[in-house]
Structure 1
Amino acid sequence: MGELPEKLRLRLDDRSGVNALRSLPKHENLVDFSSNDYLGISGEGIIQTRAIEILKEKQIEQSGSTGSRLLTGNHLLFAALETFLAKHHNAESALVFNSGYDANIGFFSSVPQRNDFVFYDELVHASIRDGIKMGLAKGYKFAHNNLLDLHRKIENTFRKNPDKGIEIYIVTESVFSMDGDTPDLTALAKFCSDNGYHLVVDEAHATGIHGEGTDMVKELELETAVFARIITFGKALGCHGAAILGSQELKTYLVNFARSLIYTTALSPHTVATVLATYQYLEDKGFEKRTALQENIRYFNKLTKELGIQDFFVNGNAAIQCLVSSGNQQVKVLSERLRKAGYNVKPILSPTVEKGKERLRFCLHAHNTKQEIDGVLNEVKKSL
């Protein structure tokens, strides 16, 4: 077995030097304040039972998809899911990808063209940044949730690039993964509509929670003002995979040019059946689950104030609540103290977030009890 090249070893040494070396965690039986399973349905046996029923109803017995969607992998459940998604999320079409990462790199590496510009919120997902880097367009970040800064960045760019053939893509998230906050999507949609820009919204952390189990764009009735939405099934839906919502023409384009769709084995029939079964489950139990989650979010925020620790937290009304504690070492120590007390709260280190803004990220769920929230926040207070 060959030795690791010196350049790679030095990169690992650098990561260790700032106390940010990653490793795969071991499974532990801790109280969950870390997973993206916000509605707490990933372990619902009724969903797995229904997924098997769907496979039997469609007379599908194969365990794998057997190929990419453009070859042999486009089994009939894809059409059923995409038709459902388009109707459920009020979109003209839907195209399923293997993951949110695949959807974002597929879209951003293929849709914006040479001489186009992509302006993205500085806190968007890494997959969006990676997709932009893989594409031909130039990407520029703007200050987080700052429409004025976006306007200035566009004006400055056009002053230097007066070409009239430029297309502008504006990219944001409906719920941000590290702060749990939201942009003013209505104002952003109007700004894009008034100027002929293409608005793209990553709905990963809103899918299944907002809009009565749909997404935030639908909740705000902005479907026709948004060029594309990326929804994912691996968070609140407790499954795996993602989809891009948009026009039928956009879907046709992506089928022809999104390499992360074209050159990968498709999701298995069982995975797609599970997504369908989950949506069916949420039509029955979704209101109850979303209500429980919202109640836990309200209780968490109320308790931080009662304990006098609210100033350590980023203000937000989402399932993601973050305690900012500068320095990788300090935030890792806090996380370890909570782990020893029985709570799974992950540290988010630089360079994943900006240096000095390291944090503990608390992911709240419908299944968390008030006693669990009391326990973890009281441990936080003691540690602080």
Structure 2
Amino acid sequence: MTPQQFLQQKLQSRQYAGSYRKLQVQNNLIDFCSNDYLGFARSLELSEMINAELQNYPTILNGSTGSRLLAGNTIYAEDLEKLIAGFHDAQACLLFNSGYDANLGLLSSLPQRGDTVIHDELAHASIIDGIRLSHAKRHSFLHNNLHNLEQKLKAAHGNCYVVVESVYSMDGDFAPLTAIAQLVKQYNAVLIVDEAHALGVFNKGLVNQLQLQSAVFARIITFGKALGCHGAVVVGSNDLRQYLINFARSFIYTTAAPIHQLASIKMGYHLLAQSQLIIDELQIKIELYKSLMGDVPQSSKSSGAVQTLIIGGNQPTKHLASNLQQAGFDVRPILSPTVAEGTERLRICLHAHNSTEEITQLTNVIKINLHVK
């Protein structure tokens, strides 16, 4: 089989399974798809804040011109890291170009041969890919199952790292962080928490909300969701920051983010600090959706912005998503192999900017399609 034949065969197998992925351009549908939970990505106020901030640096370059260990480091970047670390009540943090890069850099460099990494079975692909690049043994535990986690902790060797998400991106449910932190401490392991879908929705994130800062070894905070821009940080101790500077390949060997991106992050944090009313509005919309969907058995009941509707099967899930899109709602299907076969679902993202009428109309169309009265 030639390389070209291999490509064609793999693509055809995806098409036959109904899981063929295609890029889609932006549309004029009502947004129930994006991770822009607080509306920052579309915020005119944030855009004006970023433009005003950049006016203070009229001689800035268009690009950073190199990695931060060469030409790409700036006082601006280091001051921004101090601002973010302070916001999250931590000693230090280190900027990465994306959440994927942050997880890859942290988890490929921190665990060593002879160590053990235990992650929730539903952990994001970037977490799993990072662990695979390390020489540590990798084990998963049943989703949010403390008994199964404890079994894995008992069998761990070397330094042990437990990795979870505070809010799971495909299910919308929360990790029992307090109980996990206690269990991890009991077995002399350390806890790493990805806060990608908690920042903004829960202000500083669930680790801060639960007062677990001292119990968490490292946090991954990403900016492409509720903060409305791009990039990520790993938050932790001063020693962790210096370690990553020396050993995280996705930090060392990549061109640094330009100041345009850094200014967006900085202004995003400034806006978040004064956006409690928007956060409260999002929670009102979440409770409204849950109330309206209360009699739909396939619907999740998450208190976060990510809601799911388990349909099962790629084709039925795609069909329902298509019907909702034709009705004017941008809802996307999540298909296997992204999620386990049989758990294919619609992933419905709620936003502070979704109106009561839009949410009511969406839930009505869902019920009609599912024949729920």
TM-score (norm 2): 0.97
Identity within the alignment, %: 46
The alpha carbon displacement at 1:55 in A equals: 2.5
Q: 1:262, 1:228 → 2: CA distance?
A: 19
Runs of 4+ in structure 1 deviating by more than 4 angstroms, as ranges, are: none
The alpha carbon displacement at 1:77 in A equals: 1.8
SS across alignment from 1:312: coil
1:52–1:270 CA contact under 8 A, matched in 2: no
The alpha carbon displacement at 1:53 in A equals: 2.4
Instruction: Name the counterpart of 1:112.
Output: 111
- 1:358 aligned to 338, 341, 344, which one? 344
1:241 counterpart = 2:231: yes
Instruction: Name the counterpart of 1:301.
Output: 290
1:123–1:144 CA contact under 8 A, matched in 2: yes
1:170 counterpart = 2:162: yes
The alpha carbon displacement at 1:13 in A equals: 1.4
Q: 1:209, 1:27 → 2: CA distance?
A: 24
SS across alignment from 2:122: coil
Equivalence map 1:181-196=2 (5 Å): 181-196=173-188
- Aligned-partner residue type, residue 187 of structure 2: N
1:315 counterpart = 2:301: yes
CA displacement, residues 335-372 of structure 1 (integer Å, 9 cap, x when unaligned): 00001000000100000000000000000000000110
User: Would you say how many aligned residue pairs link Structure 1 and Structure 2?
Assistant: 369
CA displacement, residues 79-109 of structure 1 (integer Å, 9 cap, x when unaligned): 1210101110001101010000000001111
Instruction: Name the counterpart of 2:265.
Output: 275
The alpha carbon displacement at 1:60 in A equals: 4.3
The alpha carbon displacement at 1:313 in A equals: 0.9
Instruction: Name the counterpart of 1:147.
Output: 146
Q: 1:374, 1:48 → 2: CA distance?
A: 30
SS across alignment from 1:123: coil
SS across alignment from 1:79: helix
Q: Gaps spanning 5+ residues in structure 1: where?
A: none
- Aligned-partner residue type, residue 276 of structure 1: K
2:120–2:141 CA contact under 8 A, matched in 1: yes
Equivalence map 1:333-352=2 (5 Å): 333-352=319-338
Q: CA RMSD in A?
A: 1.2
TM-score (norm 1): 0.94
Equivalence map 1:1-384=2 (5 Å): 5-155=4-154, 157-158=155-156, 166-210=158-202, 213-284=203-274, 286-305=275-294, 308-309=295-296, 311-384=297-370
The alpha carbon displacement at 1:169 in A equals: 0.3
Q: 1:37, 1:60 → 2: CA distance?
A: 31
- Aligned-partner residue type, residue 168 of structure 1: C
- Aligned-partner residue type, residue 197 of structure 2: H
Q: 2:43, 2:149 → 1: CA distance?
A: 43
- Aligned-partner residue type, residue 77 of structure 2: F
- Aligned-partner residue type, residue 63 of structure 1: N
CA displacement, residues 305-341 of structure 1 (integer Å, 9 cap, x when unaligned): 2xx31x1112311100000001000000000000100
Q: Gaps spanning 5+ residues in structure 2: where?
A: none
1:96–1:241 CA contact under 8 A, matched in 2: yes
Q: 1:150, 1:46 → 2: CA distance?
A: 44
